[in-house]
Structure 1
Amino acid sequence: MNKRCHLYGKVFKSHIFGSPTIVSTDAEVSKIVLQSDAKSFVPSYPKSLTELMGKSSILLINGALQRRIHGLIGAFFKSPHLKAQITTGMQNYVQQSMENWRDDHFIYIQDETKHIAFQVLVKALISLDPGEDMEFLKKQFQEFIAGLMSIPINIPGSRLYRSLQAKKKMVKLVQKIIQARKKESDIISNKVPKDVVDVLLSDTSEQLTDNLIADNMIDMMIPGEDSVPLLMTIAVKYLSDSPTALQQLAEENTKLKTQKDELGEPLCWSDYLSLPFTQNVITETLRMGNIITGVMRKAMKDVEIKGYLIPKGWCVFTYFRSVHLDQNNYDWPYHFNPWRWQDKDMSSCNFTPFGGGQRLCPGLDLARLEASIFLHHFVTQFSWAADEDTIVSFPTVRMKRRMPIRVKRKVGSYETFVGEHCCSHPKL
């Protein structure tokens, strides 16, 4: 991509996913595209992905219905009630996972964070606890997500067909939950929503059908498998390669933990988000890691932006990675430097890790919270040595070897005491 930018400029023509496409690595052009309404640009995705998502997916619908669903979910995700629930769940799942880690044994961070984040998100969406249904859902979800970037051929035995069948099974499970929730609401009025299903069911609009809600619950599980765990994993990768940043992060989190222990108080969600250097580490990980590399839109009419003509019917790929790694926007852009964010404005159009405009990811605050909680417990309980691993950026961002590390539990941590007295298995 850098070579093409050098040859053709920051905005150029290409042919991605079989469609004529304008690629934008210009922050201002991308901002205008993302902030435009459906009269100018609508979402565009590969055919296999659109078939799996369905026409009623929040990723594909436009207009008033999209704004309504996005607003309901966004408001709920920002609520202190959900943040407290997420914090409790995340702490429990992280602790359960880390209690099984053994000194000098390999831990694959990418696998661990996926297991944790998926359960936390599913709890927020449909209030499903660990058990038989959760295991069934995880199994079917793996089958489903494997088809997102597959060849768009839907015949028995094909990758896309198997993924669609898996989604049908998951939708059936969610519909059972929806029906049970409706019966509850007939008995209990004015109930405080405990999850996204409750929020959407409480809407008086007849547009939010049971099928639409069930379909979108499955689609919204994708960040629990993809972007959120990768944020945590890549942060561990960068910290492993930056001892100075790791030391400052550990000192900041240890100080908070000691203060809360002395007061006899548990950590709440605002405690985790109050740590400035931890937030800078997460921000820098988002900038460098580019977990969401870009967003596709389709022009509904001829649109001219900064002298560039985007013809009707053409796609636009707003490529975030080039903006985030542009030396004109960031000094030493390929160098992990959390300190750069001490005095830097994150609202700039040069920083768009969660997209922008009307479709800005509603879960961005929760992603930061989950990463903050994971990093806090990780650096206060363990030291580690990372094996060699590299970040793969195509077709999706991931660690090539799933981020293997050897951990060593820190002596004297509160969690060690809990683990030794609460776990049925002996410590090694």
Structure 2
Amino acid sequence: MDKVVLIVFVTPLLLFFILFYRRITWLRLIKSKHMKNQLPLGTLGWPFVGETIEFISCAYSDHPESFMDKRRNMYGKVFKSHIFGSPTIVSTDAEVNKFILQSDAKAFVPSYPKSLTELMGKSSILLINGSLQRRIHGLVGAFFKSQQLKVQITREMQNYVQQSMTNWKEDQPVYIQDETKNIAFQVLVKALISLDPGEEMELLKKHFQEFMSGLMSLPINLPGTKLHQSLQAKKKMVKLMLRTIESRRECGISKVPKDVVDVLLNDQNDRLTDELIADNMIDMMIPGEDSVPVLMTLAVKYLSECPTALQQLREENVKLKKLKDQLGEPLNWSDYLSLPFTQTVITETLRIGNVIIGVMRKAMKDVEIKGYFIPKGWCVLAYFRSIHLDDKNYDKPYQFNPWRWQDKDTSTCNFTPFGGGQRLCPGLDLARLEASIFLHHLVTQFRWYAEEDTIVNFPTVRMKRRMPILVRRVES
């Protein structure tokens, strides 16, 4: 009993001194002559917690960028802070963000909360650096751009969308966020491991949702905690993936890959072990649960609030549908992506919705950008949302206005919804395709009334009530 009392008393005290020592070290670092005049302006906030509480408080509000705006006005577009346990340089400068995104691992490496890094594992494509990361990213990116996958994804997406919409009832709300999550997950799992809907898919989805629930949890791996439950769910998914990989090896790996597993198994790199491939299949499922469904859901929300845009989108898609019906041809990849106004709607949704608000990196050496000094070991938050909603970059930035993109270039550092550099999302075209197909079938088959709902921006972007709409079927 005495030992227990001693542990209970000493452990918090020891933790306090460790944190206190780290705090003093950081303060000495800031006050050193070498950095005093070069570090961006700003404050580290309260001892130990820094400015994390205010950052999270703003993140949960309707305007999460208010934390950044307040400091931009005081210190400029690049400033120092202390959030999530680390001294951090926050950048809301497009050129600085571009430099960070395009830098290699000698300057910056990914930095994530501890719970996320533990769940992802050391071999995750989100965390690894150097030649292996470039190899996996290149292989997956090339496959996602292949003509074979374009045909397959278009066909599968159309089928899953149609199956989903067939079950919609006019006297019951349709929850768009749930519907799009289900569709996008099926499409992505098919592209990754060729798994069709069924019992195994449902089991995988169940484990995956348990896994996702712990991504932003407290970094405590004890029975009963979110992190522990997520790790257990991942182990079950890894076993399923390894069975799939073993089955492929036994049956002979197809030289013409039908999915991402085939692509990676065909590569001769010894570092691409079965365990590494299995881990990364799970990480690559995250867009199917999060970013792509949210993109589609937000598009429905913004269109519901902008009847003029909805009418133009409907006319464009009905016109294409009638043309393809007359020709007796199904819509293909290029048909969907060639719809000009549909693409501007998706682009504007990405800008104003900010499904990905930014990325975090860790400086591997002292770095100077545009006169700003970033010390080795500090974190950097390249914050996209402030740039996308800056009135100096976009007129009336909080207004949903797809027409702004009709004469505007999207390949600019002021628009980075998919990140950039070596870690640019390899599935960006797939995301646009899935959103295009979903919107096409929605506007050509239904009219709808959207019930009131609000956007929650933290820890991930989502709708508070899952975006309920009441639908009515129409003849296009």
Scaled to the shorter chain, the TM-score interval is over 0.9
Deviation at 1:16, TM superposition (A): 1.8
Provide the C-alpha distance between the structure 2 equivalents of 1:229 and 1:116, rounded to a whole number of angstroms: 8
Deviations 1:167-212, CA, capped at 9 Å, x for gaps: 00000001000011112226x6xx3100000000000111100000
Structure 1 residue aligned with 2:377, among 313, 319, 326?
A: 313
What letter is aligned with 1:297? R
Deviations 1:35-83, CA, capped at 9 Å, x for gaps: 0000000000000000000000000000000000000000000111111
What letter is aligned with 1:96? Q
Q: For residues 184-223 of structure 1, what are the structure 2 equivalents within 5 Å?
A: 184-185=251-252, 191-223=255-287
Structure 1 residue aligned with 2:232, among 165, 168, 176?
A: 165
Deviation at 1:106, TM superposition (A): 0.5
Deviations 1:143-171, CA, capped at 9 Å, x for gaps: 00000000000011111000000000000
Match of 1:107 in 2: 174
Provide the C-alpha distance between the structure 1 equivalents of 2:251 and 2:343, rounded to a whole number of angstroms: 40
Deviations 1:293-348, CA, capped at 9 Å, x for gaps: 00000000110000110000000000000000001111110011101111111110
What letter is aligned with 2:177? Q
2:278 partner SS? helix
Structure 1 residue aligned with 2:425, among 357, 361, 365?
A: 361
Match of 2:388 in 1: 324
Provide the C-alpha distance between the structure 1 equivalents of 2:145 and 2:116, rounded to a whole number of angstroms: 28
Match of 1:58 in 2: 125
Structure 2 residue aligned with 1:132, among 199, 202, 226?
A: 199
Provide the C-alpha distance between the structure 2 equivalents of 1:284 and 1:37, rounded to a whole number of angstroms: 30
What letter is aligned with 2:225? S
Correspondence 1:347 to 2:411: yes
Provide the C-alpha distance between the structure 2 equivalents of 1:128 and 1:56, rounded to a whole number of angstroms: 23
What letter is aligned with 2:421? G
1:156 partner SS? coil
Match of 1:5 in 2: 72
What letter is aligned with 1:397? V
2:252 partner SS? helix
Provide the C-alpha distance between the structure 1 equivalents of 2:409 and 2:106, rounded to a whole number of angstroms: 31
Range that drifts further, 390-399 or 282-291: 390-399
Q: For residues 250-261 of structure 1, what are the structure 2 equivalents within 5 Å?
A: 250-261=314-325
Match of 1:25 in 2: 92
What letter is aligned with 1:258? K
Structure 1 unaligned blocks of 5 or more: 414-428
What letter is aligned with 1:246? L
Structure 2 unaligned blocks of 5 or more: 1-67
Match of 1:84 in 2: 151
Correspondence 1:375 to 2:439: yes
1:378 partner SS? helix
Provide the C-alpha distance between the structure 1 equivalents of 2:461 and 2:333, rounded to a whole number of angstroms: 28
Deviation at 1:406, TM superposition (A): 0.4
Match of 1:422 in 2: none
1:280 partner SS? helix
Provide the C-alpha distance between the structure 1 equivalents of 2:163 and 2:288, rounded to a whole number of angstroms: 18
Q: For residues 275-424 of structure 1, what are the structure 2 equivalents within 5 Å?
A: 275-410=339-474, 412-413=475-476
Match of 1:423 in 2: none
What letter is aligned with 2:173? F
Correspondence 1:74 to 2:141: yes
What letter is aligned with 2:279? D
Deviation at 1:10, TM superposition (A): 0.6
Structure 2 residue aligned with 1:239, among 303, 314, 319?
A: 303
Provide the C-alpha distance between the structure 1 equivalents of 2:83 and 2:92, rounded to a whole number of angstroms: 15
What letter is aligned with 2:288? G
Superposition misfits of 4+ residues, deviation over 6 angstroms:
none
Provide the C-alpha distance between the structure 1 equivalents of 2:395 and 2:252, rounded to a whole number of angstroms: 55
2:174 partner SS? strand
Correspondence 1:37 to 2:104: yes
Identity of aligned residues (%): 79
What letter is aligned with 1:129? D
Deviation at 1:104, TM superposition (A): 3.6
Deviation at 1:391, TM superposition (A): 1.1
Correspondence 1:153 to 2:223: no
2:437 partner SS? helix
What letter is aligned with 2:212? I
Provide the C-alpha distance between the structure 1 equivalents of 2:469 and 2:76, rounded to a whole number of angstroms: 41
Deviation at 1:373, TM superposition (A): 0.2
What TM-score, normalized to structure 1? 0.95
Deviations 1:69-121, CA, capped at 9 Å, x for gaps: 00000000011111111111111110111001111420110000000000000
What letter is aligned with 1:67? R
Provide the C-alpha distance between the structure 2 equivalents of 1:77 and 1:249, rounded to a whole number of angstroms: 27
Deviations 1:341-375, CA, capped at 9 Å, x for gaps: 11111110000000000000000000000000000
Provide the C-alpha distance between the structure 1 equivalents of 2:344 and 2:83, rounded to a whole number of angstroms: 34
Provide the C-alpha distance between the structure 2 equivalents of 1:150 and 1:158, rounded to a whole number of angstroms: 9
